[in-house]
Amino acid sequence: MSLTSVAVLVIVFLLAAYAVVLYNALVRLKHGLSKAWANIDVLLKQRHEELPKLVETCKQYMQYEGSTLERVIAARSAVARAREQHDVGALGKAESGLRLGLGQLFALAENYPELKANDSFQHLQQRISGLENGIADRRELYNEAVNLNNVRIEQFPDVLLARLFAFQAGELLEFSDAEKADVDIKSLFG
């Protein structure tokens, strides 16, 4: 075997090894993205199960606030649909509506001292608020995983393998500007 043949074999081996390392890194990022989504999904499911209990507790006291309760229920359904379909864009919009509805619901509860004093309401409010904070934290981790994945599949030479093996870009989970805005408490009571 000639020196040239050995050199070619070594170069081919090194390139193949490098390709394997790149491929494995892309697979690790893809699964990290799936894991980050699963962490959000768990919290969304938990909140989904708690919301009907909160609405039922509020119905007993908030007789005149039916439209607010209906908005929360409709938003909960929209979140569930988007979550089941793994539609990150629709989930962001639905989450915005749900968070806005919950903010209004908790603000309106201030008008009902008996409701605020109810142990079940207090527990559910704390539980849902805790889940909201957890979702926000997990959303940050998910978006970081999306960013790492998207950057990596666009960088050279990773892009060559990413295209060859059809690695997909992830979609950031973003909430609308309306969700980020402060709730206008005066309009709720006016």
Note down pLDDT in tens along the chain; length 190 residues.
Answer: 788 999 999 999 999 999 999 999 999 999 999 999 999 999 999 999 999 988 888 888 877 778 888 888 999 999 999 999 888 888 988 988 899 889 888 888 888 888 888 888 889 999 999 999 999 999 999 999 999 999 999 999 999 999 999 999 999 988 765 544 444 444 443 4
CATH of domain 37-149+171-189: 1.20.1440.20
- Comparing CA positions, the residue from 78, 56, 63 lying closest to residue 108 is 63
Is the pTM of the predicted complex or chain greater than 0.75?
yes
Give, in degrees to the nearest 5, the angle at Cα 96 between 46 and 99.
55
CA dihedral for 145, 146, 147, 150, sign (positive or negative): positive
Rg over CA atoms, the chain: 24
Please tell me the predicted confidence (pLDDT) of residue 177: 57
How many angstroms separate the CA atoms of 180 and 105, rounded?
16
